[in-house]
Structure 1
Amino acid sequence: MIKLADALAASAVALGMMSTLGGTAHAAPESARVVVDRARNQVAVVGQGAVSAAPDVMRLSAAVELRRATAGEAFAAARAAAVTLTAALVKAGVSADDLTTNELSLGPEYETFPKVSGYRGAQGVEAIVRDLSKADRIIDAAAAAGEEVRLNGITFEVSNPGRAMEAARAAAFKDAGIKAKQYAALAGRQLGEVVEITEEVTGGPVPMTFAGSLAQDKASVSPGRQTLGINVRVVYMLR
């Protein structure tokens, strides 16, 4: 019978030659990871699965930032500007329930330490936009809420990735099975039952930051598509 370790070494060499010669096999850190436990007659293989999905939610991160002579003035001005910003977002179509304060700060600024030149107050808000047709209008409304407003960036998300992840999970498990079956055959063995499954989710929200002025195109924001993936480590018995 072919020794398991020898067969695996031979298959690794063959795969490396195919990659060098432009064949169909391509080495990848995850897909090439195979662990053999000879004492337990087991083989562990990592399978990969991925699907593409269209995001349907946008998160907008914005804030107001002001400088005043005293701490009290800076804090009051920041709070008032934040009220104006949130009112503009609600008017543009964001639900009040989808607004979250994510920053509140107040601190001194120095001319030359320890001489204080003024105080900086800031308050931030995260807005969840569930209707992407309103995305550009909401961004424009935030930018127009005052010169003290800063836009920190946006992130697109898939609000309900369950179905896409099911497809990715099935693809990853199938990929692991194909690899494990091949390694078992190369070792002169047969693939047995699954004894362990561990998964790792990859992909996710894609952040976008603002630089300079906003584009004049009223349809400048595009969510594109996201790749949702799963790496699954499956341990099989060998017969």
Structure 2
Amino acid sequence: MDITVTGEGAVLAEPDTLRLHAGVEVRRASAAESFAAVRAAAARLSQLLGQAGIEPRDVTTVELSLGPEYEAYPKVAAYRAAQGVEVVVRDVSQADRVIDAVAGVGEEARLNGVAFELSDQAAALAEARVRAFRDAAAKAAQYAELAGRPLGRVVSVTEEHGFGPPVPMRASLMAAESGNSVQPGRQALTVRVRLGYDFA
């Protein structure tokens, strides 16, 4: 006879990396004009990001588009061109500086969202595993006591882990510490473990 129990452990960790989705967009009368204009705007964006301390390796092109916009099909009103990038900001305290750099491009600038992440998850996941294992072991001991049987050894371990939605921290505290208008909050890292025991 054996018993299988599931335990869960969660750790809150403050993200230290920001992924900023930004880009440039223009509309011009011809496709050639539109494409040339968006390339020029993208070059300005790249220059300003560099001046804000972003290394070229931390900028990835994620969008490049060109197409007509119709006044009444098939009459073309203009051509829209866009170029988007994902910018990795490795120092969250510099978030506003980088966002200001994007805005500095001018009317062509676009901001499309941010995402925070924890660059080194190992320590947080290790602590979450400890908590999950202890949670499962406590449940197994309780069931063994209820069944009136001594609990044996662990015969199987299965793990899964994931990330919860950001957990807000007090805005005033974060603003005082980072000086940023964009706040990372804290992220929940969760480990679930399934333990199989036999009865002695």
TM superposition score normalised by structure 2: 0.87
- Structure 2 distance, partners of 1:236, 1:114, is 70
Q: Between Structure 1 and Structure 2, how many residues are aligned?
A: 188
1:186 to 139, 142, 146: 146
Contact map agreement 1:45 1:234 (CA 8 A) in 2: yes
Q: What's the counterpart of residue 170 of structure 1?
A: 130
- SS of structure 2 residue aligned to 1:81: helix
Q: Which one has a bigger Cα radius of gyration?
A: 1
1:135 aligns with 2:95: yes
Distance 1:154 1:51 in 2: 22
Amino acid at match of 1:96: P
- CA deviations over 1:142-167 (Å, ceiling 9, x no partner): 11211111111111111111011100
In the TM superposition, residue 124 of structure 1 has moved relative to its aligned partner by: 0.5
Aligned mate of 1:69, from 16, 25, 29: 29
Distance in 2 between residues matched to 1:75 and 1:123, nearest whole Å: 10
Identical positions, percent: 57
Conserved in 1, the CA contact under 8 Å of 2:165 and 2:188?
no
Instruction: Give the whole-Å Cα distance in 1 for the aligned partners of 2:164 and 2:87.
Output: 18
- Kindly indicate which of the two structures has a greater share of residues assigned to strand: 2
> Structure 2: which 5+ runs fail to align?
167-178
Q: Which has the higher contact order (CA 8 A, sep 6+)?
A: 2
What is the alpha-carbon distance in structure 2 between the residues aligned to residue 104 and residue 198 of structure 1?
A: 43
SS in 2 for 1:147: coil
Matching of residue 58 in structure 1 with residue 15 in structure 2: no
1:19 aligned residue: none
**Alpha-carbon deviation of 1:204?**
5.6
Match of 1:90 in 2: 50
User: Using the alignment, how far apart are the partners of 1:67 and 1:204 within structure 2?
Assistant: 39
Aligned equivalent of 2:189, options 228, 236, 239: 228
Q: Which amino acid aligns with 1:65?
A: E
> Cα distance, 1:132 vs. partner?
2.1
Q: 1:50 to 1:144 in 2, by over 3 A?
A: same
Q: RMSD over aligned Cα, in angstroms?
A: 1.7
| TM-score, normalising length: structure 1 | 0.74
Residues 102-156 of structure 1: CA distance to partner in whole angstroms, max 9, x if unpaired?
1111122112223322211111111111122211111111112111111111111
Q: Structure 1 stretches of 5 or more lacking a match?
A: 1-40, 207-217
